[in-house]
């Protein structure tokens, strides 16, 4: 069960808090990159996930998040083009088959 939004937000901010972002450039890459520095590998993973989720949900893609309406699907997806209705081709096929079955069930 998911926690209420304020608790989830506090958990993300707590996970991101111990991370220190260092800007590094090793001169091999095309541009400087940020590296997360924490006390342990577990903290690094948690901080990386929290950092990425803050950037994602605070960015422009957040407005395109949708719940997949296909039967038996529990996924969310980022709507990447105007006519996209489902998270995957398989969900689109399942939803169309269910709609067809519902329309012809009593015939």
Point out which residues bind Zn ion (CB under 5 A).
Answer: 68, 70, 73, 75, 87, 91
In the complex, least distance from residue 3 CB atom to Zn ion, rounded to whole angstroms:
24
Q: Closest CB to Zn ion among 61 and 84?
A: 84
In the complex, least distance from residue 70 CB atom to Zn ion, rounded to whole angstroms:
4
Q: Closest CB to Zn ion among 15 and 68?
A: 68
Composition of the chain by helix, strand, coil, percent to 5: 45, 15, 40
Question: What separation in angstroms does the CA of 99 have from each of 41, 93, 102?
Answer: 48, 10, 5
In the complex, least distance from residue 61 CB atom to Zn ion, rounded to whole angstroms:
18
Maximum alpha-carbon separation in the chain: 70
Token couple for 65: 């998040």
Q: Closest CB to Zn ion among 36 and 87?
A: 87
């Amino acid at each position: 069960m998911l926690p209420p939004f304020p608790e989830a937000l506090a958990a993300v901010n707590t996970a991101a808090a111990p991370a220190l972002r260092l800007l590094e450039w090793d001169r091999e890459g095309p541009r400087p990159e940020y590296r997360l520095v924490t006390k342990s590998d577990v903290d690094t993973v948690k901080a990386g996930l929290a950092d990425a989720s803050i950037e994602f949900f605070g960015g422009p893609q957040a407005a395109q998040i949708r719940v997949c309406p296909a039967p038996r699907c529990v996924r969310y997806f980022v709507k990447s083009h105007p006519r996209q209705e489902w998270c995957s081709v398989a969900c689109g096929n399942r939803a169309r088959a269910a709609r067809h079955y519902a329309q012809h069930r009593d015939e």
